[in-house]
Structure 1
C-alpha cells in the first residue's frame, strides 16, 4: 500500500441534505440530490481513468412502498415492520456464500425472518477501471420483524446482529454492510456523482421516493478510494477531520463497560463499540449509532458528541451551561473541524463544530423543501420561491422533523434540551469544587503545609524539576493562570533519557496541527483560551519565518 496508513484516514468533502419538510416522499428529491452531488464534483478526487471517484452516495429515508411493491411482485410476504440491508459482498463465490449464510444465521438468532435476497440492479459500465477492479457484488436482504415489534425494537436487534457479523468477518473487502435498518437506506460507491443513478438503477426508478436525502462527495487527502469508505455512512456524512480521533477511539474502548441500557442487555457483546480502523467519519458514525441504539435521541446525541464552545460563552444561560457541563463529564468532544449532516429516518439535521470552519448554508422554499449544503448553487430553485436563507454558525445545529413538519433552529433545540432534566440542580448537589484562595479561612492564609525537608522529598518523589517549579508552578501560584510557551519540546523521550522520569512520561500525547484559516483572537476568544491563541500565533510566526 506504499505510504498508506489506515490509522490516518481523514477527508475533506462536500456534503448536504435536502428534505421535504412535510414528510411527503418524492422522487424529485433524489434527482435533485444527484444534481447537487454533480455540482460538488470539485470537492471529490478523480482517478487517472477519469471515471473512478473518491466516493459519493445518498442516504435515504426508507422507501417502504418501493420494497413492498417489489416483494408483492415476487410473491413474498413482508411483515408490518421490516428492514432492508444493503450488503457489499466479495466477488469470490465461496466467501460470498459463507457471508450470506452468516447474515441469515445471525438475523434468525434475533427471531427475525429473512424474507428474501434482492440483487441490486447495477451497470458497471459507468465505472472507471479503478472502481471496477474493487467493485463488490451488491445485494439487499429484506428482513421481517415479528408481530408487535416497534421500529426502535427492530433497530436495536439489527444493530446487535450486524455487530456480531462484523466481528466474525472483520475484513470489509469480504463483507461490508452499508446499512441494515428499517429507517434508512444507503446507496454509495466509487462512481462519479453524475453516474450514481446510472450505476444504481433504483435511484432513477420513478417508484423510488423519499422525503429525506443526505448526500456526500468525498475527498480524501491521504487514502486510496475504497467502496466501504464512501459516504454517507449508516446515519451521517461528515466534512472535515476529527483531530481528536485517536483519543476518542481510546476513550470509547476504555469506557465501553459503562455503556449499559436495559434496552440492549447484551450490548457488551458488540464491543468494540467504535471502529478502531477505517476513517474518522466512520468512527463518529459508530458512536452516533451506539447512542441512538441505546435510546438517546438525535439532538442529545449530537450535542454530546460535538458541543459548541460553551465554556467561554458569556451569553449562554446557566441552565444551558449546566447541560453542556453535565455532558462533558461523560464524554470528550469529537473535535473538528467538522460539519456533519445526518438522519435517523425521521429527523434530518446539520451540525457544525465549535470553530465553524466548515460552511453550511441553508435555503427554505415555499414548496417546503429545505436544503443545507457546504456551498450555495447546488440546485436551481426559483428565487421567488425562497422563504428563508441563512447559514449555520460555529457550534450551531439545525434540524427538521418530517413527521410533524417542524423546523428546529439552534435556540429551539437548546431550549428543548436544557428543560428535560434539572442539570443545574444535579451539578450543585453532586459536584465538588476546590476552594479558591480568596475563600480560604483567614487562619490558614500564609501558613505552609510542609517544611523544607518534606517539600524536597515530595519534589524528588514526583520528579518536579527546577524548570517546572519556576516556569509553570510559580506562574500558576502568582498569576492564577497557565504558563504560556511554544509547542517545542527538545527534551529526550523518556525511554532515551538519562534522568529519572515518571511512568506517564513514557506515553506521549499526539498533537494535531491542521491547515485551517487563521483564527481571529478577539472574535474567537470564546472558542480558545488566551494561552492557546498566543501559542497558535507563535507557531504561525515560526512557520512563516522558517
Structure 2
C-alpha cells in the first residue's frame, strides 16, 4: 500500500495484486506461518481459475526431509544437502530419460543425487476433464549432496549453473513436461495449475503439522497473453510477478550476449565448476522463457 494524490485528495493505492507474503518477525520457523498462508490463500480465487496456476515458496521443511530421506539423516542434520523439486513427464520412458539426464548433470556439478522421492499429490482436487489434470506431471524431489571444497557462495553458483544446464538439456528433451520447480538448500516451491485456495489440498505436505517456515510467499496467476502450463505457475525459484514481463525476450537476448563473459569469470573463480559452465555455454542459445 502507498499514498497517492488524486484530485487534491490523498488515497491509498495497492499494486502486486495476486501476490501475498507472510513472515515471522522472530525469524524462526513457525507452523502458524504456513497455516496463515493457507488461510490467506482463500482470498485470492478472484485472481484466476484452475488453469491459471498458483503456488507457494517456503523454507525447506527439514523435519519432513528426515522422514522422506531417513538414510541421509546425518547430512540433512548438517544441512549439507540441497532439495530439488521437478515436474517430470507422466510417460514412463521419457520420465526415465529425464531422471537419467538430471543425475548425469548433477554429478557433473559435483552434487550427486543421493535419493529420489515422490511428492504426495491429490489429483482429485483438479476437475476431472480439465487441462490441468490432463497435463498433470509427476512431481518428484531429489536430495543432492553438497559439493566438496566449495564455499557457500560457490555452492550457490553451482546450483545456479545446474539449473541452467538442466533447463537447457532436459527442457529440450521434454519441453513443457519438464521443469525445475525449485533447487535450493534453503527454499522449496509447491505450485501447479490449481486455485491458490486449493494448493494445500493438492499437496498434503503443506498440511503436515511438522511443516514450519519463517515465511511464505504465495501467488495466484491470472493468465492473459501467456499460454498456461504447469511449469509457468508461480512462484518461480527467485521471482513472483504480477502480469507479463513485456521485455522478457530482450532480457534473454541481453543475458545471452554477456553470458559467455560471465561464465568465463565463474570458471576463473571456481575452476571445479568449469565442466558444468561449459555445458551451460554449449546450450546457451534458445533459452526457454518461463
- TM-score class normalised by the smaller sequence: 0.7 to 0.9
CA–CA distance in structure 2, aligned partners of residues 183 and 192 of structure 1 = 25
Aligned equivalent of 1:133: 134
Aligned equivalent of 2:22: 18
Q: Deviations over 1:233-285 (max 9, x none)?
A: 0011011333333322222222223323344554464246697443xxx4xxx
Structure 1 residue 149: Cα displacement = 4.7
Structure 1 residue 163: Cα displacement = 2.1
> CA 1:116 to 1:274, structure 2 compared with 1: closer, same or farther past 3 Å?
same
> CA 1:181 to 1:240, structure 2 compared with 1: closer, same or farther past 3 Å?
same
Q: TM-score with structure 2 length normalisation?
A: 0.81
> CA 1:97 to 1:13, structure 2 compared with 1: closer, same or farther past 3 Å?
farther
Q: TM-score with structure 1 length normalisation?
A: 0.45
Aligned equivalent of 1:226: 229
Q: Deviations over 1:424-472 (max 9, x none)?
A: xxxxxxxxxxxxxxxxxxxxxxxxxxxxxxxxxxxxxxxxxxxxxxxxx
Q: Deviations over 1:360-400 (max 9, x none)?
A: xxxxxxxxxxxxxxxxxxxxxxxxxxxxxxxxxxxxxxxxx
Matches within 5 A, 1:272-291: 276-278=287-289, 282=290
| Higher mean C-alpha displacement, 225-234 vs 30-39 | 30-39
Matches within 5 A, 1:42-191: 42-44=46-48, 46=49, 52-72=50-70, 75-79=71-75, 80=78, 81-128=80-127, 129-146=130-147, 149-169=150-170, 170=172, 171-191=174-194
Aligned equivalent of 1:49: none
Structure 1 residue 187: Cα displacement = 0.4
Aligned equivalent of 1:251: 254
RMSD of the TM alignment (CA)?
2.3
Structure 1 residue 227: Cα displacement = 0.3
Structure 1 residue 78: Cα displacement = 4.8
CA–CA distance in structure 1, aligned partners of residues 19 and 210 of structure 2 = 25
Question: Which protein is richer in helix relative to its size?
Answer: 2
Which consecutive residues of structure 1, in runs of 5 or more, have no partner in the other structure?
1-11, 47-51, 283-546
Is the 2:195–2:220 contact (alpha carbons within 8 Å) kept by the matching residues of 1? Answer: no
Q: Give the SS at the match of 1:248.
A: helix
CA–CA distance in structure 2, aligned partners of residues 39 and 243 of structure 1 = 27
Structure 1 residue 138: Cα displacement = 0.5
> CA 1:91 to 1:78, structure 2 compared with 1: closer, same or farther past 3 Å?
farther
Q: Give the SS at the match of 1:237.
A: coil
Is the 1:172–1:228 contact (alpha carbons within 8 Å) kept by the matching residues of 2? Answer: no
> CA 1:268 to 1:17, structure 2 compared with 1: closer, same or farther past 3 Å?
farther
CA–CA distance in structure 1, aligned partners of residues 107 and 192 of structure 2 = 29
The structure number with the bigger radius of gyration is: 1
Q: How many residues align?
A: 260
Structure 1 residue 177: Cα displacement = 1.1
CA–CA distance in structure 1, aligned partners of residues 284 and 218 of structure 2 = 25
> CA 1:268 to 1:106, structure 2 compared with 1: closer, same or farther past 3 Å?
closer
Is the 1:68–1:78 contact (alpha carbons within 8 Å) kept by the matching residues of 2? Answer: no
CA–CA distance in structure 1, aligned partners of residues 252 and 111 of structure 2 = 31
CA–CA distance in structure 1, aligned partners of residues 32 and 285 of structure 2 = 35
Matches within 5 A, 1:236-385: 236-259=239-262, 260-261=265-266, 262-264=268-270, 266=274, 267=277, 269-271=279-281, 276-278=287-289, 282=290
Of structures 1 and 2, the one with the larger relative CO (CA 8 A, separation 6+) is 2
CA–CA distance in structure 1, aligned partners of residues 121 and 157 of structure 2 = 30
> CA 1:15 to 1:156, structure 2 compared with 1: closer, same or farther past 3 Å?
same
CA–CA distance in structure 2, aligned partners of residues 139 and 68 of structure 1 = 16
CA–CA distance in structure 1, aligned partners of residues 148 and 63 of structure 2 = 19
Is the 1:78–1:144 contact (alpha carbons within 8 Å) kept by the matching residues of 2? Answer: no
Is the 1:124–1:199 contact (alpha carbons within 8 Å) kept by the matching residues of 2? Answer: yes
